[in-house]
Structure 1
Amino acid sequence: MAASFFRQFFTPSMLVAFLMGFSCGMPLLLTSTVLQAWMTEQGVNLSVIGVFSLVGLPYTLKFVWAPIFDRYIPPFLGRRRGWLLIVQLILILTVASLGLTDPGQTPWLVALAACFVTFFSASQDIVVDAYRREDLKDNQLGLGSSLYVNGYRIGMLLSGSGGLILADHFTFDQVYLLMAASLLVGVVTTLLCKEPPLTVATPRTLREAVVEPFVEYFSRDRAITLLLFILLYKIGDQMASTLTTPFYLALGFSKTQIGVVAKLFGFWSTVIGGLLGGIVMLRIGIIRSLWVFGILQTLGILSFSILALVGYSVSGLIIAIVLEQLTSGMGTCAYVAYMASLTNKRFTAAQYALLSSCMGVPRVIIAAPAGWIAEMVNWPLFFLGCTLAAIPGLLLLPLVARQYRQDMD
């Protein structure tokens, strides 16, 4: 049994999933956290900095141009690796170009460069998601997704925290050049990995690539139910995470305590949770994992209510953060694997982009009213409400499981 597990774990495909996750996570904070720090240092007005959050729109709208990657095949390396190499090389150039701009003198040029970075970063996400779905077998999706997510988080840590630390020792333009160079990891991975076998016919026209993915998906049994499940499964977790920093401050924790506990314990708990989730999924499958991790995820949210009742307690803070991040990492792993399993390999890029865009909708919608709700009730009730918000997604699981078994037959 152990030998079988190690054979599934230590494979080139799993290494590729991890390295491609790293490459996808790297650019994300270069147009938000690091760029905001640079603009603040240059004396850019806060209102202008706030507007710059709009450069992240391509991550939400990536389903719009995703069909292009299904329809056209580059003349080298194949449908997935060919597009990956093109997008990655352009992404390296755009990150380096962003570092050559001047936020204090030409913020509009910074905005344009940042938009190019997010567009090609989102494009890399599209093709990598499609590659992973087509490269891994169904029973490997759980572990492969967990390694991808963990690679993504490590990439974000390196570019976000690492970028800010480097900015204390180098100029920001040098930091961006270093980050651009680190993206060569993705290029090397693309050149060395194998192209997934093309087992289905590709769309013959652009119209077919744009229209058919949505027609095919919505013609399935329970298509709306499955989409609703994707919207609701993580909603309680997303709602709780929206206001964790104000919550910690309200309990009397210092910013240093929050930074050390949340970044150190929280980050590694999420990574371990994702890895554990992938290992467990090898044994029990995606659907049973969604049940187990969904229930654990709900209990993790509830730990914040208990912390709110206990009040200031460093050990309580550590326990709450570890529980929530550990279970959230496990839930995300099963969630991402399930979304991948829903895609038709003929339209992998378009359908996965649509589903992953839906995944981010609750986070955007909830961010606005969450603060108002927290002001209307006390913290214990707010997090209890977040816990209850996770239940509708679990209630849909019997229908999701029935459809999954039907599709697998």
Structure 2
Amino acid sequence: MLLTGITGLYVAQSIIGGITWTGLPAVMREAGVPLDRIGLVSLIALPWVLKFLWSPMVERYRLPTRGRNRSGTIVLIGGLISIFGLILAGAFEPTRWMPLFAILTVVAFAASTVDIACDGFAVQSLATSQHGWANAAQVGGAYLGSALGGGLFLYLIGTSDWQIATWSMAAALFLLGLPFLLVAARAPKEGTREHVPSLLHALRRPRLRQGLFAAAIFVVALKVSLGMIGPFLVDAGVDLATIGILNGTGSLIIGSAAALIGGACVRAWGTKPVLILALILQASLLALLAASRITGAFPVSVIMTVAVASSSGVMAFGFVALYAQFMRLSDPRQAGVDFTLFQCADAAVSIAGGVIAGQIAEAFGYGIFFTAAAALALGAVPLIASVAKRETPGLGAANDTHAPPESVRSTFS
């Protein structure tokens, strides 16, 4: 029941992300919004970048010095704000991008706060034997949520309209949040805690700081092209309903399969080879997209296959290893703070990359943009190789989540 509740929240958060970063760019492009403004969608992720600032306050409220765990309260309030935000967003047309950006930024603030509580609750509450399942729930939930928010959402728009699609996603958030609230209600009524969560405690740990640097390199190299793939498919003549089916299928089938393969590879080889292989695969796929635009020789079916392999397959494969390290390097006494720092590094480079991506694509075209993105992914390989350290295969990173920080044997292995 605990894993079910946590998985439900991860799916719900990813629905919001799928709507914002996959669905909305494609809808805006079909409505005639220029690429440079579509690139600004990445700014909606600002709360995910800045949430480290209020993560200690959230953790102190969630885990008071004496009293009950308040994770359920945080999730309830944040969930209601997210649901009503999507209902309000449905009242605006996609061309009204400024009010939509404002509403979705508030939703992102609520969802990011819920995420702090959810991650902390997961690391704190799950037994060691369940840590591997928690990683699977996080990655699998993210891709299921992406299938709903980026796939089903677009399909509903293509077959009905924006309002019905947005309100349907609000209803999904409501249903997905209920299991966690039932689990949180069963948390111990009272408890005493000596440790006071703080950013200073996290940033004093050298391994965490090195992990942040490595995470930033990996994320910017792997994700910089993500926001332009939807508009690229639209400009290639693919309709929204087809893109919705493609995103949904890619997330449900390719993304889930790639996550399982990535998890198996991490256990067999350690995380360093998985991270490097993901970068090489992404560089190859982006080079194919660049070639398709420059030469015009690729059929649309090939372009769609390469696009979904990049945005779903390689992304899932690489991020299994990345998030395993996030869990491993988080102190369970303040997991909501530590895990948040890693996620903020992810969001920060995603925002910067998304804004720059829109400007480059608008100014120079998709061919140059995807060529540059491929070169960036390939150029990140030696950097990740130099920062990463060797790990003994078979020791899943997630299985060490509750080990003391000093016992972690590698920073980003």
Q: Establish whether TM, by shorter chain, passes 0.5.
A: yes
Candidates 255, 264, 272, aligned match of 1:291? 272
Deviation, 1:303, is: 2.4
**1: CA distance, partners of 2:306 / 2:94:** 41
Q: CA deviation at 1:81?
A: 2.6
- The answer for the alignment partner of 1:346 in structure 2 is 333
Note the C-alpha offset of 1:335: 0.6
- Answer whether contact 1:69 1:127 (CA < 8 A) is retained: yes
Distance 1:350 1:369, change over 3 A: same
Q: Which residue pairs with 1:145 in the alignment?
A: 135
1:179 to 169, 172, 175: 169
Match among 375, 397, 407 for residue 388 of structure 2? 397
Label 1:352 to 1:292 Cα distance change in 2 as closer, same or farther (>3 A): same
Match of 1:220 among 205, 227, 232: 205
Kindly state the Cα deviation for residue 192 of structure 1 after the two structures are TM-superposed. 3.1
Q: Could you tell me which of 244, 258, 274 is aligned with 2:259?
A: 274
Alignment-derived partner of residue 16 in structure 2: 27
Stretch deviating more after TM superposition (323-332 or 35-44): 35-44
Deviation at 1:121, TM superposition (A): 1.7
TM-score, structure 2 normalization: 0.73
What is the match of residue 281 of structure 2?
A: 300
CA distance in 2, matches of 1:238, 1:323: 13
The alignment covers a number of residue pairs equal to 383
Q: Is the 8 A contact 2:21 2:227 kept in 1?
A: no
Gap change, CA 1:303 and 1:175, over 3 Å in 2: closer
Deviation (angstroms), 1:70: 0.9
Is 1:16 the counterpart of 2:1 in the alignment?
Answer: no
Match of residue 57, structure 2, among 59, 65, 68: 68
Supply the AA of the counterpart residue of 1:301: Q
Q: 1:136 to 1:91 in 2, by over 3 A?
A: same
Cα 1:70–1:379 shift into 2, 3 Å: closer
Q: Contact 2:23 / 2:150 at 8 angstroms: preserved in 1?
A: yes
Q: Of 152, 163, 171, which residue of structure 2 is paired with 1:162?
A: 152
Q: Identity over aligned residues, as a percent?
A: 20
Query: Which digits, 9 at most, give the CA deviation of each residue in 1:349-397, with x for residues without a partner?
Result: 2222221010123333334556389889796676244212232112211
Which whole-Å CA distance do the structure 1 matches of 2:29 and 2:219 have between them?
Answer: 33
Distance 1:40 1:121 in 2: 25
| TM-fit CA distance, 1:127 | 1.7
Q: 1:135–1:196: 8 Å Cα contact kept in structure 2? A: no
Give the conservation status (yes or no) of the 8 Å contact 1:277–1:334: yes
Distance 1:80 1:25 in 2: 19
Q: 1:365/1:316 Cα in 2 relative to 1: closer, same or farther (>3 Å)?
A: same
Which residue of 2 is the match for residue 387 of structure 1?
378
Shift of 1:17: 3.7
Q: Hey, what's the Cα distance between the residues in 2 that align with 1:37 and 1:105?
A: 12
Runs of 5+ unmatched residues, structure 2: none
- Give structure 1 stretches of 5+ with no counterpart: 1-11
Give me the whole-angstrom Cα distance separating, in 2, the residues matched to 1:374 and 1:141: 45
Root-mean-square deviation over aligned CA pairs: 4.6
Q: Which amino acid aligns with 2:14?
A: G
User: What is the alpha-carbon distance in structure 1 between the residues aligned to residue 231 and residue 27 of structure 2?
Assistant: 24
CA positional deviation for 1:329: 1.1
CA drift of 1:333 comes to 1.1
Q: Alpha-carbon deviations, 1:224-249, whole Å to 9, x = none?
A: 32221121233332245466578889
1:105 to partner: Cα distance: 12
Match of 2:407 in 1: 407
- Contact residue 144 and residue 278 of structure 1 kept, 8 A: no
CA distance in 1, matches of 2:12, 2:40: 26
Higher RCO, 1 vs 2 (CA within 8 Å, ≥6 residues apart): 2
Q: Aligned equivalents of 1:319 and 1:174: distance in 2?
A: 29
Deviation at 1:297, TM superposition (A): 0.8
SS at match of 1:398: coil
SS state at 1:231 partner = helix
Structure 1 segment 303-382 matched on structure 2, within 5 A:
303-304=284-285, 307=288, 312-313=297-298, 317=303, 320=306, 324=310, 325-367=312-354, 371=360
1:82 maps to 2:73: yes
Measured against aligned partners, the alpha-carbon deviations of 1:151-175 in whole angstroms (never above 9, x if no partner) come to 2222233233323333456554444
Aligned equivalents of 2:382, 2:131: Cα separation in 1: 25
Q: Trace 1:98-113 onto structure 2 (pairs within 5 A).
A: 98-99=89-90, 101-102=91-92, 112-113=102-103
| 2:389 alignment partner, SS class | helix
Counterpart Cα distance in 2 of 1:77 and 1:138: 22
Instruction: Name the SS for the 2:206 alignment partner.
Output: coil
CA contact (8 A) 1:230 1:358 kept: yes
The 3-state SS of whatever aligns with 2:47 is helix
Q: Is the 8 A contact 1:293 1:327 kept in 2?
A: no
Instruction: Write the letter of the residue equivalent to 1:190.
Output: F
Structure with bigger gyration radius: 1
Letter in 2 for 1:278: G
